[in-house]
């Protein structure tokens, strides 16, 4: 599989790389590591990387200023999708994907649709960055590539806390640390540090939260009105759902925030074995057993009520 991917790279001249919309640490780390790796190992290639947006906290990543965020109609011989389970989630980059002569899909989501010419996904890997590390020549993984990969692995494992963390994950993290990366700084700046506005939103969402289903689930929401009040945008809501789940007795957390007039994003987290991805899939979303998300359009109250009924029946199974 490894060979098939690098053969595609060798046979291409222009290579486009992208991940999913609303990119997270694993998506940014994976795409940027691939960008730096191809530039290093195949210097005759023209490579570009596209993100829908680049959260400020990832600005330390080498080469990130070269990433494109304004979608331009570009042609690529080869398009590499990373950390994306479904071509829909490529957003604007989907056009690039469809026009490319050849496509590669590298991921770790169990729900991956195998939508490319070459599909490589390892559902037992913690992150796409872990999958990529196994594909790279370890000697070529330098400081900058290691920083990308460590970012992705640490973010997708909740800093090595989630059950997707394996012995191999820790070995890889150790090998990346050996490259001299400042892991304390990476974790502090990209994972733990919050802006004042983010903390205000977290505080408000905790205050407004409700315990339901015999206190097994905590649910809260951020409305556009609330976000306006604190000058927050949707990037300021990262981590709220995880913080809510970190409550004694909570088996699941549901966080809803407003995307548009009649559009709401729902993030689902579970601490036990209740399957959040099954619920998200019912509403056209996806994700993992313990962390998933979907979008509800139209009547938010009715949509949320039906989703919570699904959650209740999911909890009855465990
Ligand atoms: Mn990921």
pLDDT 10s per residue in the chain (318 long)? 678 999 999 999 999 999 999 899 999 999 999 999 999 999 999 999 999 999 989 999 999 999 999 877 778 999 999 999 999 999 999 999 999 999 999 999 888 899 999 999 998 999 999 999 999 999 999 999 999 999 999 999 999 998 899 999 999 999 999 999 999 999 999 999 999 999 999 999 999 999 999 999 999 999 999 999 999 998 899 889 999 999 999 999 999 999 988 899 999 999 988 999 999 999 999 888 889 999 999 998 899 999 999 999 999 988
Is the distance from CB of 279 to CB of 266 less than 8 angstroms?
Answer: no
Between β-strands 78-82 and 14-18, what pairing exists: parallel, antiparallel or unpaired?
A: parallel
In a shared domain, residues 150 and 224: no
Write the DSSP string, 214-232.
TTTEEEEEE-HHHHHHHT-
Return the number of other C-beta atoms located less than 10 Å from residue 286's C-beta: 21
Q: Which domain holds residue 100?
A: 2-192
In a shared domain, residues 133 and 30: yes
In a shared domain, residues 203 and 154: no
| Cα-to-centroid distance, 152 and ligand 1 (Å) | 7
The H or E element that residue 196 is part of is helix 196-208
- Sign of the C-alpha dihedral computed for residues 93, 54, 135 and 13 taken in this order: positive
pLDDT of residue 217: 98
How many domains is the chain partitioned into structurally?
2
Is the distance from CB of 268 to CB of 304 less than 8 angstroms?
Answer: no
Task: Specify the CATH number for the domain of residue 305.
Answer: 3.10.310.30
In a shared domain, residues 39 and 157: yes
Q: Could you give the CA distance from residue 317 to residue 101 in angstroms, rounded to a whole number?
A: 46
In a shared domain, residues 162 and 226: no
pLDDT of residue 144: 98
| Cα-to-centroid distance, 101 and ligand 1 (Å) | 26
Q: Which of 162, 192, 222 delimits the end of a domain?
A: 192
| Cα-to-centroid distance, 129 and ligand 1 (Å) | 8
pLDDT of residue 288: 83
CA distances to 47, 56, 64, 258, 265 from 232, in Å: 34, 14, 24, 12, 16
In a shared domain, residues 32 and 173: yes
Is the distance from CB of 274 to CB of 314 less than 8 angstroms?
Answer: yes
Task: Tell me phi and psi for residue 163, to 5 degrees.
Answer: -70, -10
In three-state secondary structure terms, 254 is strand
DSSP 157: T
Task: Specify the CATH number for the domain of residue 131.
Answer: 3.90.1640.10
Based on DSSP, count helices (H) and strands (E) in the chain, helices before strands: 12, 11
| Cα-to-centroid distance, 154 and ligand 1 (Å) | 10
In a shared domain, residues 149 and 278: no
In a shared domain, residues 165 and 205: no
pLDDT of residue 2: 77
In a shared domain, residues 71 and 139: yes
In a shared domain, residues 147 and 223: no
| Cα-to-centroid distance, 301 and ligand 1 (Å) | 30
| Cα-to-centroid distance, 191 and ligand 1 (Å) | 15
Q: Could you give the CA distance from residue 24 to residue 158 in angstroms, rounded to a whole number?
A: 12
| Cα-to-centroid distance, 288 and ligand 1 (Å) | 10
pLDDT of residue 1: 63
Structure tokens at 6: 């690098």
In a shared domain, residues 183 and 253: no
Structure tokens at 265: 């994003």
Q: Which of 155, 170, 192 delimits the end of a domain?
A: 192
Q: Which of 157, 192, 227 delimits the end of a domain?
A: 192
Catalogue the E-assigned strands of 137-288: 210-212, 217-222, 252-260, 263-270, 286-287
In a shared domain, residues 31 and 178: yes
Q: Could you give the CA distance from residue 143 to residue 149 in angstroms, rounded to a whole number?
A: 10
pLDDT of residue 23: 95
């Amino acid at each position: 599989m490894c060979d098939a991917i690098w053969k595609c790279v060798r046979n291409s001249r222009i290579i486009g790389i992208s991940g999913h919309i609303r990119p997270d640490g694993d998506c940014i780390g994976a795409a940027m590591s691939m960008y730096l790796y191809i530039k290093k190992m195949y210097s005759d290639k023209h490579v570009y990387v596209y993100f829908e947006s680049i959260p400020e906290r990832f600005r330390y990543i080498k080469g990130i200023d070269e990433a494109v965020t304004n979608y331009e109609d570009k042609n690529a011989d080869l398009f590499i999708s990373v950390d994306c389970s479904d071509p829909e989630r490529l957003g604007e980059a989907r056009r690039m994907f469809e026009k490319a002569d050849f496509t590669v899909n590298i991921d770790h989501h169990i729900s991956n649709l195998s939508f490319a010419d070459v599909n490589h996904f390892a559902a037992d890997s913690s992150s796409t960055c872990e999958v990529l590390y196994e594909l790279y020549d370890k000697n070529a993984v330098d400081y900058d590539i290691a920083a990308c990969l460590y970012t992705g692995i640490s973010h997708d494992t909740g800093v090595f806390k989630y059950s997707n963390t394996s012995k191999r994950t820790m070995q890889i993290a150790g090998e990346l640390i050996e490259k001299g990366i400042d892991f304390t700084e990476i974790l502090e700046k990209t994972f733990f540090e919050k802006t004042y506005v983010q903390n205000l939103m977290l505080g408000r969402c905790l205050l407004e939260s409700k315990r339901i289903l015999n206190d097994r689930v905590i649910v809260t929401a951020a409305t556009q009105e609330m976000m306006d009040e604190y000058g927050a945008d949707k990037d300021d809501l990262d981590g709220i759902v995880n913080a809510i789940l970190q409550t004694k007795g909570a088996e699941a957390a549901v966080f809803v925030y407003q995307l548009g007039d009649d559009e709401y994003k729902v993030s689902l987290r579970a601490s036990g074995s209740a399957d959040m991805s099954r619920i998200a899939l019912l509403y056209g979303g996806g994700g993992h057993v313990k962390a998933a998300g979907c979008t509800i359009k139209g009547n938010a109250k009715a949509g949320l009520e039906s989703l919570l009924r699904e959650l209740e029946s999911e909890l009855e199974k465990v």
